Amino acid sequence: METVEASSGWGVLHLFYDVDPDAGDLAAAESILGALNSFTEQAPHQVCTFAVLGHKAALGIMAIGPDLARLQALQYALNRSPLIPTWSYFSLTEASEYAMTADDERDRLRAEESITDATEIETRLAAWNERIEHYREQRIHPQLPDRKAISFYPMSKRRTGTDNWYALSFAERKNFMMGHAAVGRRYAGRVTQLITGSTGLDDWEWGVTLFADDPGELKAIVAEMRFDAVSVRFAEFGPFITGLVLEPAVALRRVGVSS
């Protein structure tokens, strides 16, 4: 199988299924588990399996990795099982074009923390640079977290009248997004966010995947962000799907596929 990789970023495939109740036997479970194991046996390809809450699907599978051909092969293998596709979404990991720079952080230290000593500013910047490099690496080459709950939704920026995101200057857009990011940082340690790009690849412009141990935090972060200025004026949201993260064999048993 010929490898297909993007010049930047990994492929992210969200797959959602119902289950054929008359075909979920031991052989079916072994076939599905075999497909998942075959996908992940070549690092850094990863999967997250979850039992979906609500009737949009029974089972969710989030697959991520650099080789798009490997993602497609997994999708095909799963489609030959008792799993019945209900929806899917494809995107690529990406770095934010609005990420803070060292100059932004230097200005913030002076304005928000009233730090004027040049040595202290450079010391703080060194620590900031280390954190931001880890953050950027996690955006492009993420390691899926071990959390109990997951929520996924696609979204786009509005392009209507005076609320046309793409008619704004870069400086205006960055100012909006820095305020938005400040909300997300308040949930650090409680919610892990993975924002992936899908412009030209799927129906929306981004996919947002949130992980948390407390499902209430998933609700809280989205609710708070909707009051942020960039969401109030420009955000368009697709369907939300929420599930309970489980080991693959456990997830299959939970949705009626024996293993």
Is 44 among the domain residues?
Answer: yes
Domain ranges, residue 131: 100-135
Which of 98, 153, 166, 187 is the catalytic position? 153
Q: What is the pLDDT of residue 209?
A: 98
Are 86 and 30 members of one domain? yes
Taking residue 169's Cβ as centre, other Cβ atoms within 10 Å add up to: 8
**pLDDT of 259:** 54
CATH for 38: 3.30.70.1030
Q: Is 9 left (phi over 0), alpha (psi -120 to 50) or beta?
A: left
* In-domain check, residue 154: no
Instruction: Show which of 108, 135, 162 is a domain's final residue.
Output: 135
- Which residue numbers in the chain have pLDDT < 50? none
Q: Does residue 211 lie in a domain region? A: no
44 and 59 share one domain: yes
In a domain, 108, yes or no: yes
Active site residue 153: yes
Please report the pLDDT score of residue 144 as a whole number: 96
53, 115: one domain = no
State the pLDDT at residue 69.
97
Distance CA 125, CA 157 (A): 32
57's CB contacts (< 8 A; 6+ apart) are 16, 17, 18, 86, 87, 241
Indicate whether 58 and 131 sit together in one domain: no
CB neighbourhood size of 77 (10 A): 17
Q: What total number of domains does the chain contain?
A: 2
Residue at 83 is within a domain: yes
